[in-house]
Amino acid sequence: MTKPIHEASVTLTIPFHDLDPMQVVWHGNYARYFEHARTALFQSFDFDIPAMRESGFVWPVIELNVRYVQPLRYQQNITISAAIVEWENRIKVRYEIRDSATGERLTRGHTIQVAVDVSTQEMCFVSPAILFQKLGVPHP
């Protein structure tokens, strides 16, 4: 497993409106939970959406993977962690959702994002230098 370069986490309490008829969190809401953690992650190194746009590049999500280990339930306190594990040609963010009280892993997943030049709308096959600068790592 690749060692993360940056990590962040957020804690949430499952609201009633996130449940499905089976009284567990509807599977589509997991992407939103990941997004909360990913936002905190990118804010931690000053590269949230406004900073991305200002750089002339955006990084849309092109792949989402979720492994549902245990169901999430109403009023459960969860901690969602996000970590950047790839950045050279794409950004791969790895996620874990854990029960805040027990630490039990409930869900894991990842997203893949690629750089797109805002002016040309073309996908970049190598991450732009600004990403390396923001991450604090040498540009190859």
Q: In the prediction, which pLDDT does 2 show?
A: 67
* DSSP type of residue 123: B
Q: In the prediction, which pLDDT does 4 show?
A: 78
Query: Which residue segments constitute the domains of the chain, with CATH numbers given?
Result: 6-135 (3.10.129.10)
Q: In the prediction, which pLDDT does 18 show?
A: 96
Burial code of 14-48, b = ≥16 C-beta within 10 A, e = fewer?
beeebbeeeebbeeebbeebbebbbebbbeebebe
The one-letter code for the residue type at 56 is G
Q: In the prediction, which pLDDT does 1 show?
A: 58
Q: In the prediction, which pLDDT does 139 show?
A: 83
The one-letter code for the residue type at 22 is M
Task: For residues 14 and 30, give the distance between their C-alpha atoms in angstroms, rounded to a whole number.
Answer: 11
Query: Which alpha helices (H) appear in 12-139, and where do they start and end?
Result: 29-44, 49-55, 129-135
pTM beyond 0.85, yes or no: yes
Task: For residues 10 and 39, give the distance between their C-alpha atoms in angstroms, rounded to a whole number.
Answer: 10
Task: For residues 84 and 36, give the distance between their C-alpha atoms in angstroms, rounded to a whole number.
Answer: 14
Encode the chain (140 residues) as per-residue pLDDT tens digits: 567 789 999 999 999 999 999 999 999 999 999 999 999 999 999 999 999 999 999 999 999 999 999 999 999 999 999 999 999 999 999 999 999 999 999 999 999 999 999 999 999 999 999 999 999 998 87
Q: How far is CA 32 from the centre of its chain?
A: 9
Q: In the prediction, which pLDDT does 91 show?
A: 96
